[in-house]
Amino acid sequence: MTALPIVIPPGFISVVTVGQAIAVGDPLAKSLPQTDASINIAKVLQVSLKQMKHVLKKNPGEGIEPDDILAQKKSLFGIRDIVIRSKTSGTVLRYERTTGNLIIRINDGNPIVQEELVSPVEGIVAVCNNEQIIIHTDKHVISGKRGVGEIGEGEVFILEHSLENNDTIEDANLLYFLNNHAIGKVIVGGALTKDVLMKGIGMGAAGLIGTTIADEDLAYIQEKQLKTPVLTVGNDILSTLLQWKGRKVFVDGSSKSVIFLQL
């Protein structure tokens, strides 16, 4: 089994449990509806909770529109009032006497849409908490020959010129074609030299996969404790990766594995 960690975005809550079997496209987490707004009237107007009944201009159940006055504090001599106005339409739900908060149910005229975070693989939920979900899977997974680094995820970027005859290719050409289009992506090629590897890592590639990478170059990356995953694979796996151009993969350097993400 290969572990695929999935980060839960802020404002989302998990809808799966540990040990649950999931398929591609199954929901893992859903966004929490953000429909209520809270304004601390007492703090904004700098009045005591006892004075709140004198400054509030809207009561629970009342509808409000943009620019409506929610609360108003008169100055000592009536020269300048401090006013809190609504920035949206909605309904006053309640006033919290112990906190000074006025709670408003926002109504923007649009239905509430709940977003979903769905699984890109088939597998079993191994870890589930407020920060991430880890899925163990043996589907759409391939194993490389050697690997260093940690984990990365991104679209497959094919370094075409590295697949040409090694007798005619020059390292300078590879460095030229390794441009900003590879940033954040998993670079896939044939023979990858140390200079190519270091440029890819330095520019922010999500990972590098090649059929030919010198042992000393892999050792150098490991010695420097660089986190970008770097793998060597066989020609059969390379063929599969070439067909996956522009689609996402997850690369794990320590387990020497690649997961083909289905979504």
In this prediction, residue 162 carries a pLDDT of 79
Query: Average pLDDT in the 217-223 region?
Result: 96
Give percent of the chain above pLDDT 90. 59
* Local confidence band at 165 (pLDDT 50, 70, 90 cut-offs): low
In this prediction, residue 124 carries a pLDDT of 97
In this prediction, residue 1 carries a pLDDT of 83
In this prediction, residue 167 carries a pLDDT of 46
Would the CA dihedral through 127, 12, 131, 6 be positive or negative?
Answer: positive
In this prediction, residue 200 carries a pLDDT of 95
Query: Average pLDDT in the 81-102 region?
Result: 87
Distances, alpha carbon 240 to alpha carbons 142, 183, 237, 249, in Å: 10, 22, 5, 12
- pTM listed for this prediction: 0.70
In this prediction, residue 108 carries a pLDDT of 61
pLDDT exceeds cutoff 50 at 216: yes
Three-state SS at 215: helix
In this prediction, residue 168 carries a pLDDT of 45
168-171 long-range contacts, CB within 8 A, separation 24+: 171/195, 171/196
181 vs 159: CA distance, rounded Å? 11
Query: Average pLDDT in the 184-189 region?
Result: 96
Look at 209 and 53; give whichever has higher pLDDT: 209
For the chain, domains (ranges, CATH) are 1-31+114-138 (2.40.50), 36-106 (2.40.50), 140-260 (3.50.30.10)
b/e map 171-200, b = 16+ CB within 10 Å: eeebbeebeeebeebbbbbbbbbeebbbbb
